[in-house]
Amino acid sequence: MQLCLDVGNSHIFGGIFDGTDLSLRFRHPTALHSTSDELGIFLKTVLRENNIDLSNITDIGISSVVPSLDYSLRSACIKYFNINPLFINADIKTGLTIQIDNPHELGADLICDAVAASQHFPSKNIIIISMGTATTYSAISKNREFLGVSISPGMRLSMEALQGNTAKLFAVEIKKPTSVLGKNTTASIQSGLYFGQLGVFRELTQRISEEYFTDDSPIIIGCGGFSQLFEKEGVFTAWMPDLILQGLKHILDLNRGLTA
């Protein structure tokens, strides 16, 4: 079994692969100052509560965009699992050609998403919309070239900006509104967040396609925490909530010599 961890700014999204089967998914809030013991005990507890024998974990892969947690995560894996984890970065085998100015700036999460997408849709141009703390738009060519990224504030971050920088606006539940025009403050904020994000989807995917994919229309993949809200809007060719874990597993296999 393989333990894969996506460490984001808001949550740690984890999964257990039993062969090719993603047999368990779990989430935990990201705490920036967690110790190795806190992380290790959490991981052992969630596995035991799901009837997974810790001795069956043979490998661990980590995609982290929170550098302050990397030391504690590595220490937790070594102390509680006796496994030195593989951290994803641009220096390891990915099967991608990364065509950006400084590949080391590219987030591990974006690398994992791109690898999984290229596996699912070989020989296809791809745009990945990943909705986390930030919303990212990654472009990958049919030749497995990572062409670049566009980054905008995520929905929760946008809401927090309104709440923190206006006198009368407040936090709301992020959900799909029933109308584009709100009849109260809550509905008005929800509308702006939802339809504003939807408009950015359409504008950016169109511009990326016109600039980079004139030869062949791209597959558009939605993933990340809030992507499910937009599953029925017709902006995604495919909605793939486990994309990052699948990419993490493939990179883990590739670098451990388990796959070609």
> 3-class DSSP state for residue 133?
coil
Asked about 70 being catalytic, the answer comes back as no
**Active-site residue, selected from the candidate residues 6, 59, 109, 113:** 109
User: Count of alpha carbons within 13 Å of 231, Cβ hemisphere only?
Assistant: 10
CB 73 within 8 A of CB 64: yes
The Cα 17–Cα 24 span in angstroms is: 7
The Cα 114–Cα 251 span in angstroms is: 11
- How many helices (H) and strands (E) the chain has is answered by 6, 11
The Cα 108–Cα 112 span in angstroms is: 6
List residues with catalytic annotation.
109
